[in-house]
Chains A and B, each alone.
Chain A
């Protein structure tokens, strides 16, 4: 079983994630008119993550139309960042993506906050989708 797991973050992981998001009816429903891209950042923890690891995700009308490991030049409307241990808790649903920001477990960078406040359900569904990707963590 362990061998089927995809390392987070990696191109393989992203590819599977896109597949899961694009087959999620719940995400499509909640984000049917969302237009905007994200960079998810795993911030360095001085232990397992030495350099920031970044994922680029472009979301458009309820689908993910592009996603990849981000290059240093990649830019997006929003960034959502936190340390590896919190990403693990997020995928385990031990942290809620919105509450996590208030708990200072994650930081939301840039972007139109008025827009994001109207799509909290879509954010939740994006996190729900991660639970369907068998994930191997850099510290495993």
Chain B
């Protein structure tokens, strides 16, 4: 059955890749970032290159973590006032998603972000093009069709895709990630791993995304511990940016699965950092799928082989893969249970219904290789509280 694989026309990577901006055509660049990243000086570095080439530049640093629709509207408003022909996002997934969604509103003020969907052509690029420069090595949003915005009223994370939103240029500049603290390096790295793994078991998987996943999984296991251990290791930083990018290309074209449905809900309801949340969910979803999907077993076993597992029995290899994910998380300091993430039992219990409800509304559950009802999700969350491996 026909399908498409869409990625940006250009991805610049490696030290000084930022200089690719010297070749980009345009007059007025609207830089979207957040206060933290702005204070680190990366937007100024970009602005300097552009102003040397006679661009007009505005820096808007009001992006918020896990952006809400209202925050995006503010960005779009500022973009409109400035009449940008180029939008440059410099930041983590939150900044890049703010830029993508604001770009949609800038070009299509008629669109309701809650109704953004994969099925309608947006017709972007009549006013501006989008450049993304990630400062975390995790979301891969710089190459994806995906965007995640929170509803102001309910706080629910609305994740969707649209091919038009794939950025025009992605720049993977390792030095832009070197100030990322160890914890966020670990969490965002786990997001990248979760994208790669989930794309490989998704019911929408395809050979192109599989190829990206295989390299990404191998790279995360090799380079994430090094990036966490030694934040100034620009080689490790650069490799993690590439791994996250490959994982982004993979899932953008084959989707994520249950781990993200659980994780989006955890981010919305308990305000856990995205990578921490999806990473925590990952080993449990591997076990859950392995217990009742031969297809998933085969795929996890193949991933296990990539990281050196030699077990012949596919089910044992798949289980071993979940174990190795947990070991990696322990090594880099990414919590493997709600308890370890310091979520109080009473908060967890008080929010369990909402956690399950929001997960059931997340589109990624339909791509999960094993089907289930909401009662299974509740049980998975309960096991995740104490860190009990899934046995059902």
Contacts and interface: CB of A to CB of B under 8 A. Distances in A.
B371 A117 contact: no
Interface string A101-140: 1110100100011101111110110001000000000000
Interface string A26-62: 1001100000000000000000000000000000000
A25 interface: yes
B160 interface: yes
A117 B1 CA distance: 23
A30 B1 CA distance: 27
Contacts of A95: 1
A114 B112 contact: yes
A5 interface: no
Interface stretch (B115-123, B171-179, B228-236): B115-123
A27 B113 CA distance: 27
B42 interface: no
B373 A96 contact: no
Contact of A29 (B1, B117, B158, B374): B374
A15 to B, nearest CB: 26
Given A96-B203, A117-B363, A101 B2 contact: no
B3 A103 contact: yes
Contact of A103 (B2, B361, B365, B366): B2
A94 B351 CA distance: 38
Nearest to A105: B1
B115 A113 contact: yes
B158 A117 contact: yes
A26 B361 contact: no
Interface string B335-363: 00000000000000000000000001101
B383 interface: no
Contacts, number: 59
B204 A119 contact: no
Interface residues of B, number: 24
B36 interface: no
B119 A120 contact: no
Interface residues of A, number: 27
B361 A118 contact: yes
A98 B1 contact: no
B119 A108 contact: yes
B112 A119 contact: no
B371 A120 contact: no
A98 B117 CA distance: 11
Contacts of B2: 103
Contacts of A101: 118-119
Contacts of A116: 117
A121 B117 contact: no
Contacts of A118: 361
Contact of B1 (A103, A121, A128): A103
A94 to B, nearest CB: 7
Nearest to B365: A121
A94 B1 contact: yes
Contact of A113 (B3, B117, B204, B371): B117
Contact of B373 (A29, A102, A114, A117): A29
Nearest to B372: A26
Contacts of B363: 98, 117, 120
Nearest to A31: B360
A68 to B, nearest CB: 27
Contacts of A114: 112, 114-115, 158
A107 B114 CA distance: 20
Interface in B142-180: 158, 160
Interface string B190-211: 0000000000000110000000
Given A114-B112, A124-B366, A119 B361 contact: yes
A112 B2 CA distance: 27
Given A114-B114, A121-B360, A124-B366, A102 B119 contact: yes
A102 B174 CA distance: 35
Interface in B94-134: 112, 114-120
21 contacts: A29-B360, A29-B373, A29-B374, A29-B375, A30-B374, A89-B1, A94-B1, A95-B1, A96-B203, A96-B204, A102-B118, A102-B119, A105-B1, A108-B119, A113-B116, A113-B117, A113-B119, A114-B114, A117-B115, A117-B363, A120-B363
Interface of A: 25-26, 29-30, 89, 94-96, 98-99, 101-103, 105, 108, 112-114, 116-121, 123-124, 128
Nearest 10 A-B pairs (CB), nearest first? A114-B114, A114-B115, A113-B115, A118-B361, A29-B373, A120-B363, A101-B119, A113-B117, A120-B366, A124-B366
